[in-house]
Amino acid sequence: MNNKFLQESEIIDFTNKNIQKLVKKLSINCETDEEIAKNCFLFVRDEIHHTGDYKDNTTTLKASDVLKYGTGWCYAKSHLLAALLRANGIPAEFCYQRLDCGEYKEDVYCLHGLNAIYLKEFGWYRVDARGNKNGVDAQFNPQMIL
């Protein structure tokens, strides 16, 4: 496994003290990487607002800022999820999709950010912690890829 999927960076700043506190909280009583990854996913999906859905005026980028302000666009939420996972020794990377954003204007596209998580039992598993809304039901279920 390439260790670049476990590295810290300026944006994936998992040694931040607030991220470290959350890492400990989310991994307590967990026995497997899958349990930790699920807790991290659910936290980011459910506790961090999607900036566009909530019409937040704050735009975040760094994982620690996403946590601090409790909001982020899809790519920023993926930065926090990667930070939480990497801090727990779980490899995480970024994925991007081109989406039709026609709900706003015809022939408008956007880039959507999400994550891939490496779980020993399942391999790479793609997750989207963007946040659920009408028409979006993102779940954590790596067994579905087998």
Q: Where are the domains of the chain?
A: 7-135
Give the pLDDT confidence score for residue 88 in this predicted structure. 97
**Joined tokens for residue 71:** 């909001």
Residues with Cβ within 8 Å of 80's Cβ and at least 6 positions away in sequence, in order, are 19, 44, 48, 63, 66, 67, 72
* Architecture of the domain defined by 7-135: Roll (3.10)
pLDDT for 5-42, tens place per residue? 999 999 999 999 999 999 999 999 999 999 999 999 99
The pTM assigned to this predicted structure is: 0.90
